[in-house]
Amino acid sequence: MFKLITSEQNNVKNDVLSGFTVALALVPEAVAFAFVAGVEPMVGLYAAFMMGLLTSIFGGRPGMISGATGATAVVMVSLVAIHGVQYLFAAVILAGLLQILAGVFKLGKFIRMVPHPVMLGFVNGLAIVIFLAQLGQFKVEVSDGVMAWMQGEMLYIMGGLIFLTMLIMHFLPKLTTAVPSGLVAIIVVTLLVVGLDLDARTVIDYVRDMLPADQAASATLKGELPSFAIPMVPFSWETLMIILPFSVIIAAIGLIESLLTLTLIDELTDTRGKGNRECIGQGIANTTNGFFGGMGGCAMIGQSMININSGGRGRLSGITAALVLLAFILFGAQFIEMIPLGALVGIMFMVVLGTFEWSSFRIMRKVPFTDAFIIVLVSGVTVFFDLAIAVVVGVIVSALVFAWKHAQHIEAEITIDENGQKIYDLRGPIFFGSVSNFKELFDIPNDPEHVVIEFKRSRISDHSGIEALDTLAEKYKAHGTKLHLRHLSPECRILLKKAGSLCEVNVLEDPKYHVASDVLG
């Protein structure tokens, strides 16, 4: 049922090695987002394992990596702070069920409504967010709970390790693609730090900085297998009302980020994922998280880019990343704890350089001003607020711009036929944006006894259009003029009939076109 690998041996090797690289890059992000949500580090690591494994198996986009993310973590903060982690687990279960329903009802197709300028803004905004998130690695704890920027030798070492990592990732693929450059960079930089005994911050240093002083000394990333447990919350209407708003937001944000990441990877790999199946895969993973002590999440654009750039294309890459992460948690925590943060930051900086759409600077002067404005707007909202809000804002602004432009396109060619009827041959849709211009087309006081509105090249799109026609019919009726509508589509006739329109409709030669249909999954 699930095609985990391709038939070519090289793809198996690339998926496995890429999975190792991704597993190492998942650790600090999972820990960081766990702290953001106000839960223990292991809750974030469990989420990264379960999200990665289940979405790789059940999801609709091979090669895409899912895990605990900042986009969903920021939603969870107040829920955990007020009601506790058990309510979080219940909310994640409900969010997963909502995502499964979204896939069952094929709502994933609506991601294709996102305009290209919004996609560019999304990509650029995410690149900036990933970059800014790495700046936190340049801070160290100077006293209990007080963080300050690195200085002196520690800063130089950190910068040197980052630069070395980026050099390896840039030049190694020019020599060989047998192994992922990111994996080589992590191994080389780690061996260099250990061999020279450099004073470099490691993953476990980062974890300890996040914990209270009394817990920092014994901090470790070693854990056990996640175990099944029903969230310990009252099964009541009150509980549902508490978690439902959080679940809806988590589900929506998770699907928006996952489907946009899916679309981006589709473009990079010249393949096509299945949006509705991805909704179901994300839902299964989040529901499982809630029952096994994970904080849930969604697709991770940074880790997905690492995977794609490292050669991971199949489901095996995500499965490998998840299983390797679990193996590290169970048996090899000491190995991931010793990885220098400089290596991981260097990898993420390369992701930033590869993710940002640099061509957008060039095309800004060539596209319409409104498109350029939308790119900048979505990027800014993504950085300062939230991805989901940015995409919604971008789509709304794009829709308003589209409506404004098409509102100017309503016009009519006016003729008199052999029977003395005046014919208004419309061009353009009649909808809320164009009704004002539509009404100005008609010369009601001077029109003859019979007026025909020709809809062969026009259509009624919404209730505002129906109201405009009814108002027009009333005015013509007051002047003793008979109004006829000709060549209406079946959908337009149904709209008028349901609204109880005053107009007399001529149904001859009506075209048989439809609003839209979509049979794709």
Q: Where are the domains positioned within the chain?
A: 9-138+145-372, 408-506
Position 369: which residue type? Answer: F
DSSP-based three-state secondary structure for 85: helix
User: Taking a C-beta distance cutoff of 8 angstroms, is the pair 492, 460 a contact?
Assistant: yes
For the chain, 521 residues long, give each residue's pLDDT as a single digit of tens: 344 433 444 488 889 999 998 998 888 778 878 877 888 889 999 999 999 999 999 999 999 999 998 778 878 988 998 999 999 999 999 999 999 999 999 988 777 777 888 888 888 887 888 788 788 888 887 776 677 888 889 999 999 999 999 999 889 888 887 777 888 888 999 999 999 999 898 888 888 877 777 777 777 888 889 999 999 999 999 999 999 999 998 998 899 889 989 988 988 888 888 999 999 999 999 999 999 999 999 998 888 988 998 888 899 999 999 999 999 899 988 888 888 989 888 888 887 888 788 888 888 888 888 888 999 999 998 888 877 788 889 888 988 888 777 777 788 999 998 888 999 999 988 888 888 888 889 999 999 988 988 888 888 888 888 888 888 888 888 888 888 888 877 777 776 676 665 555 444 444 444 444 344 44
The 3 state secondary structure assigned to 304-334 is HHHHHHCCCCCHHHHHHHHHHHHHHHHCCHH
DSSP-based three-state secondary structure for 500: coil
Instruction: Provide the b/e sequence for 382-410 (b: ≥16 CB within 10 Å).
Output: bbeebbbebbbbbbebbeebeeeeebeeb
Q: How many Å apart are CA 22 and CA 303, to the nearest integer?
A: 6
Multiple choice CATH, 408-506, 3.30.750.24, 3.50.50.60, 3.40.50.180, 3.20.20.80: 3.30.750.24
Q: How many Å apart are CA 133 and CA 153, to the nearest integer?
A: 22
Q: Which of 53, 41, 133, 39 is nearest to 92 (CA)?
A: 39
Q: How many Å apart are CA 457 and CA 404, to the nearest integer?
A: 19
The predicted structure's pLDDT at residue 499: 62
Q: How many Å apart are CA 57 and CA 50, to the nearest integer?
A: 11
The predicted structure's pLDDT at residue 513: 44
Q: How far is CA 433 from the centre of its chain?
A: 29
Q: What is the DSSP string of 391-450?
A: HHHHHHHHHHHHHHHHHTT-EEEEEE-TTS-EEEEEES-BSTTTHHHHHTT--GGG--SE
The predicted structure's pLDDT at residue 402: 81
Eight-state DSSP code of residue 455: -
State the Rg of the chain over Cα: 29
The tokens for 484 are 């006829």
Cα dihedral 304/307/312/317 (nearest 10): -80
For tokens 């041996």, the residue is 9
The predicted structure's pLDDT at residue 195: 92
User: Taking a C-beta distance cutoff of 8 angstroms, is the pair 216, 52 a contact?
Assistant: no
For tokens 């164009």, the residue is 434
Number of neighbours of residue 131 by Cβ within 10 angstroms: 17
